[in-house]
Amino acid sequence: MENKVTINGLTFVPYLTHDKIMEQVKRVASEIRSDLGESSDPVFICVLNGAFIFAADLIREIGINDCKIAFVRYASYEGTSSTGHVRQLTGLTEDIAGKDIVIIEDIVDTGLTAVKMIDDLKKQNPRTVKFATLLHKPESSKTGFEPDYVAFSIPPKFILGYGLDLDGKARNLHDIYVIEE
């Protein structure tokens, strides 16, 4: 783990190590696997771009071979804060009618993206909808939205790494970093 990371003139310090992240990814994976049960052929919906690394690790840990993986893309952030306006950039191409779906997100902040996405996806009549997030900032909620699965609950500070970016950068980092105070 690097001591400090500087991106676009902002400094970030270590917050969660890759080992700690993987421990929680495994816990969430086993919760999802036992809730889905043996007979389910779920569709995992990865929310681009930030969730791609979490989703790759989580889906492999869940270990259900009879699953499909789909992608959606929403945007609400510019720089380090939410605009409050959520837009769908890429929709779903997979048929989810009658399916158990698990949405996989990197972080729930205000909850606005999650609420909009669930609303959009429910229109396609899935059998069940669950929501898994790597990170949850409960104090930032503007919606009261509660994810079904949370790897880490964190205070409302800007973080990056393990898929999460600052203006598109630093998604490659193995560990998660928090903005220096």
Cβ proximity of 111 and 74 under 8 Å: no
From the candidates 19, 109, 120, 148, give the one annotated as an active-site residue. 109
Q: Which of 42, 49, 106 is nearest to 75 (CA)?
A: 49
Beta-strand pair 159-160/43-48: unpaired
Q: In the bound complex, what is the minimum distance in angstroms from residue 160's beta carbon to ligand 5GP? A: 5
Residues in contact with ligand 5GP by the rule CB under 6 A: 50, 76-77, 82, 86, 105-114, 158-160, 164-165
Nearer to ligand 5GP, 36 or 59 (CB): 59
Nearer to ligand 5GP, 36 or 173 (CB): 173
Nearer to ligand 5GP, 96 or 160 (CB): 160
Q: In the bound complex, what is the minimum distance in angstroms from residue 82's beta carbon to ligand 5GP? A: 4
Backbone angles phi, psi at 152, to 5 degrees: -140, 135
Helix (H) or strand (E) holding 35: helix 18-36
Q: Which of 61, 64, 53 is nearest to 18 (CA)?
A: 53
109 is catalytic: yes
Nearer to ligand 5GP, 128 or 141 (CB): 141
Cβ proximity of 161 and 133 under 8 Å: no
Output b/e per residue, 41-60; b: 16+ Cβ within 10 A: ebbbbbbbbbbebbbebbbe
Q: In the bound complex, what is the minimum distance in angstroms from residue 98's beta carbon to ligand 5GP? A: 27
Nearer to ligand 5GP, 100 or 106 (CB): 106
Q: In the bound complex, what is the minimum distance in angstroms from residue 67's beta carbon to ligand 5GP? A: 22
- CB atoms inside a 10 Å sphere around CB 105: 24
Q: In the bound complex, what is the minimum distance in angstroms from residue 50's beta carbon to ligand 5GP? A: 5
The residues annotated as belonging to the active site are 109
